[in-house]
Amino acid sequence: MTVSKKETIENTIPAWLTMLLAAACGIIVANLYYAQPLVGLISASIGLSSSGAGLIVTITQIGYVIGLLFIVPLGDLVENRRLVFVALLLTAAALVVAAVAKNALFFLSASLLIGLGSVATQVLVPFASYLASESSRGRVVGNVMSGLLLGIMLSRPLSSLVADLLSWHAIFALSAAAVVVLALLLLKVLPTRNPTANTTYGALLASMWYLLRTTPILRRRAAYHACVFATFSLFWTTVPLLLSSSDYHFSQKAIALYALVGVAGAVAAPMSGRIADRGWTRPATGVALVTVIVSVLLCLIFQTSSTLGIAVLVLAAILLDAGVSANLVLGQRAIFSLGPEIRSRLNGLFMAMFFFGGAIGSAVGGWAFASGGWSRALWIGAAFPILAFLYFFTEKNSRTHA
């Protein structure tokens, strides 16, 4: 089956394919986050200092940003199914290297390539939007993104449990095997999609700057999500360090159980897609930004290792993940409402900008926690969504909210 622009108007994506794409996105994107709750274990094993532990997550996110800028745009130029297959093979090879790495250079190099190959998710998400009708696009994107977000959220408890039962190396080896199986499955069952763009790779990349300059909705939605994703990355990079400290004494299994509560926030993704389909993107965006702010403020107010303090951390994790999930789907729904012939490039730019924000959050979070503890990390984490909320008020007389 070949996907054309005409077919996307007449048909919508079958339910089984939506589920497959959601599961695939979850499996792939999880590779970006397996190391997040293990930064203490991995940094000690490969010889990184506590202040440099944030690099373990940051380097992976930088690789992802590079892939978003230089690989994802190929979705507008080359056959999508084979592009996904090659990217997944690269990811699997890098995961094998990470699994056997014994020093920082090899592990961080593998981390960069893991991020680079994992951009296959951002070829699959626009692929789903091509198959969806205009009236159902928000719902379809929301459902696929819920799979991606579940992958992000489940990756942390899964890697913690595997590390507790086996070792931190094992999660990368197991994921490598899963990615190879997934690559073969997608190659077999995905429909063929040959883009209609008649251009060169160089011209395609050059056009991205023009798209950035002339698409205000892209700049605005990317700014919102860069800020909330910086807070998300900062929180989930530093909270395992807090919980494993002498004040809390959490084991890797306990940290895994804590990380699992964030999964509840994924329900916001499909709900947000449906809200966007009804034209309520702007008020929903305000609610999402406020939710992220509240999640961090709760942690700032209740800084205690008591039962109350732990309950607040649980509530904060759910609110944070829900706010970030909702804002992501709202942003992608708005961007995917633009021209289908430029959708991969717009999505690549959008994801690259907000993942750059995430990389900043991870790096700053590791430094802030090492130099000033949990409080300093939280104050920095609160600043990002507050800036986004202030920028949100400039949207009042704008038509950039779609």
Integer CA distances (angstroms), 43 to 59, 75, 212, 250, 374, in order: 13, 36, 37, 18, 19
Instruction: Point out the residues of the chain with pLDDT beneath 70.
Output: 1-13, 49-54, 129, 131-139, 195-197, 265-270, 273, 276, 339-341, 396-402
Topology (CATH) of 5-395? Growth Hormone; Chain: A; (1.20.1250)
Q: Which of 325, 287, 343 is nearest to 134 (CA)?
A: 343
| pLDDT number for residue 210 | 86
| pLDDT number for residue 344 | 73
pLDDT tens digits for range 264-319: 766 666 677 677 677 787 888 889 999 999 999 999 998 887 888 889 999 999 89
| pLDDT number for residue 209 | 86
Q: Which residue has the tokens 């389909």?
A: 277
Handedness of CA 349, 355, 357, 363 (dihedral sign): negative
| pLDDT number for residue 136 | 62
pLDDT tens digits for range 49-103: 666 666 788 888 889 888 888 888 887 788 888 899 999 999 999 999 999 988 8
State the Cα–Cα distance between residues 41 and 88, nearest whole angstrom. Answer: 26
| pLDDT number for residue 386 | 95
Computed over every residue of the chain, the mean pLDDT equals: 82
Residue 304, class by beta-carbon neighbours within 10 Å (0-12 exposed, 13-18 middle, 19+ buried)?
exposed
What are the boundaries of each domain within the chain?
5-395
